């Protein structure tokens, strides 16, 4: 598949720079996205006050917003994938999230399985557990057809990583596949909804 | 010498050459004209194609802003024209407010048109008759006029300075038409002195 070149996706030069992910976690809430496990990214917004403002406006807004997403690869960054998130309503902003395929691939995997990502503003050293109620924005990741590309890309990079750690070619491929399977097993966790279980019991 | 000229003209080869030159010139002229006609035809079809591309022309006739306790109300009387050859619809109308954050970084938020606001006391000057109810159909070469009303909560922009506001219309093809930054008059409650 031929990939398109994205050049006009951002309005300001600072929006084109990937925002650093300083911490991550996974959140599963009853009644939100069917209880799926969704990755949470704490972003270093020290030089991006517009992201802090975006999160604040989202908190005050009565209606849910609109967002466009696009998976991409940054030029010259062979070991990572990027997610261009363009917020349209209620506030406009573009955020580029860059994920290292080997180290942060689990976040991409989780975002594709959970079909969403939470973002939270923060600084270096911040952790979710310190303040779980800090404002965050949840945006959905629709099916863009990226999963197929991701599967082969992730497998290739993981196999290369395992080879660099001393495994043979076949072993590295097997280890890569096993890692992906394990990640998916963890990622497919869903928080059971007791109301739903009750209603199902009543129906039966 | 005149005898030689007569002989030259009597030679059919010379006439054949002259006729060939004339015909070649004629052909060159014809091809030049054809090229000109083809260029014009292309320009006409391009302009026809351009007229089939969805777009709106927005003209601002009047606009106001009114400060209330918890929010600001914006009203814009606009006319929307569809200069294209295709029928279209206005799907969404939004006010795009750009305001200044600390460090001269600007943020932009969007507020949707809310026709229900037109009936409120604060918007009594607008009335309900001429307010756009969206989505609304706008056929080819047709113009519609009416009010767009927006409410911007103070919680959204707090004490920040508004840099500009523009109106964005989205059509049924997902194409956006935007105005230039708008100037609005501030309306306050004033009691006339008798």
The answer to whether residue B98 is domain-embedded is: yes
Judged by a CB distance cut-off of 8 A, whether residue A17 touches chain B is no
pLDDT tens digits for range B22-75 = 999 999 999 999 999 999 999 999 999 988 999 999 999 888 888 888 888 888
Beta strands B57-67 and B185-187, pairing class: parallel
pLDDT tens digits for range B124-154 = 666 666 889 989 999 999 999 999 999 988 8
Whole domain around residue B23: which residue ranges?
Answer: 2-51
CA separation for the pair A166, A181 (Å, rounded): 21
In this structure, are B25 and B98 located in the same domain?
no
pLDDT tens digits for range A43-80 = 999 988 889 999 999 988 878 889 999 999 888 888 99
Judged by a CB distance cut-off of 8 A, whether residue B109 touches chain A is yes
Alpha helices in B66-191 (DSSP H): 154-157
The answer to whether residue B194 is domain-embedded is: no
Locus of tokens 């048109």: B113
Judged by a CB distance cut-off of 8 A, whether residue B102 touches chain A is yes
- Across residues A99-128, what is the average pLDDT? 91
Chain B residues in contact with A91 (beta carbon < 8 A): 107-110
Q: What is the pTM of this model?
A: 0.78
- Nearest CA-CA distance, residue A8 and chain B, Å: 16
Which residues lie across from A41 on neighbouring strands? A24, A119
In this structure, are B33 and B117 located in the same domain?
no
Contact A60 B110 (CB under 8 A): no
**CA torsion, points B118, B120, B126, B129, in degrees to nearest 10?**
60
Structural domain count of chain B: 2
In this structure, are B26 and B120 located in the same domain?
no
> How many residues in chain A?
204
DSSP strand E in A28-90: where?
38-44, 66-72, 80-89
Q: What string of DSSP letters covers B153-166?
A: EHHHHTTPEEEEEE
Give the model's confidence band at B122: pLDDT under 50 very low, under 70 low, under 90 confident, else very high: low
In this structure, are B73 and B111 located in the same domain?
yes
Domain boundaries, chain A: 13-143
In this structure, are B6 and B42 located in the same domain?
yes
Is residue A63 within 8 A of residue A51, CB to CB? The reply is no
Give the model's confidence band at A13: pLDDT under 50 very low, under 70 low, under 90 confident, else very high: confident
């Amino acid at each position: 598949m031929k990939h398109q070149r994205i050049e006009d996706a951002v309005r300001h030069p600072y929006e084109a720079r990937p925002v650093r992910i300083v911490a991550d976690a996974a959140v599963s809430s009853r009644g939100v996205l069917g209880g799926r496990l969704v990755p949470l990214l704490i972003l270093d917004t020290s030089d991006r006050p517009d992201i802090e403002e975006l999160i604040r406006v989202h908190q005050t807004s009565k209606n849910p917003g609109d967002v466009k997403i696009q998976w991409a690869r940054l030029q010259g960054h062979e070991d990572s994938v990027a997610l261009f998130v363009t917020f349209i309503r209620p506030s406009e902003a573009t955020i580029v999230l860059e994920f290292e395929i080997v180290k942060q691939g689990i976040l991409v995997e989780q975002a594709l399985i959970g079909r969403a990502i939470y973002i939270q503003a923060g600084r270096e050293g911040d952790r979710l557990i310190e303040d779980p109620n800090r404002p965050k924005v949840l945006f959905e990741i629709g099916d863009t057809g990226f999963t197929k590309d991701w599967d082969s890309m992730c497998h290739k990079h993981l196999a290369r990583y395992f080879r660099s750690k001393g495994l043979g070619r076949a072993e590295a491929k097997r280890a890569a596949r096993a890692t992906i399977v394990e990640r998916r097993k963890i990622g497919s966790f869903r928080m059971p909804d007791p109301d739903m279980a009750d209603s199902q019991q009543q129906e039966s | 010498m005149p005898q030689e000229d007569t002989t030259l003209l009597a030679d059919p080869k010379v006439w054949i050459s002259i006729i060939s030159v004339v015909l070649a010139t004629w052909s060159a002229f014809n091809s030049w004209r054809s090229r000109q006609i083809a260029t014009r035809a292309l320009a006409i079809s391009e302009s026809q194609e351009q007229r089939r591309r969805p777009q709106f022309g927005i003209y601002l006739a009047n606009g106001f802003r009114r400060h209330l306790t918890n929010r600001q109300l914006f009203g814009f009387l606009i006319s929307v024209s569809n200069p294209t050859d295709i029928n279209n619809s206005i799907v969404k109308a939004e006010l795009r407010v750009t305001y200044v954050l600390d460090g001269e970084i600007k943020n932009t938020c969007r507020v949707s048109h809310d026709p229900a606001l037109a009936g409120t006391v604060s918007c009594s000057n607008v009335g309900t008759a001429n307010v756009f109810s969206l989505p609304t159909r706008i056929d080819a070469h047709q113009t519609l006029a009416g009010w767009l009303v927006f409410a911007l909560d103070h919680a959204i922009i707090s004490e920040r300075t508004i840099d500009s506001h523009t109106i964005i219309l989205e059509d049924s093809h997902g194409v956006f038409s935007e105005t230039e930054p708008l100037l609005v008059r501030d309306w306050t409650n004033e009691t006339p002195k008798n």
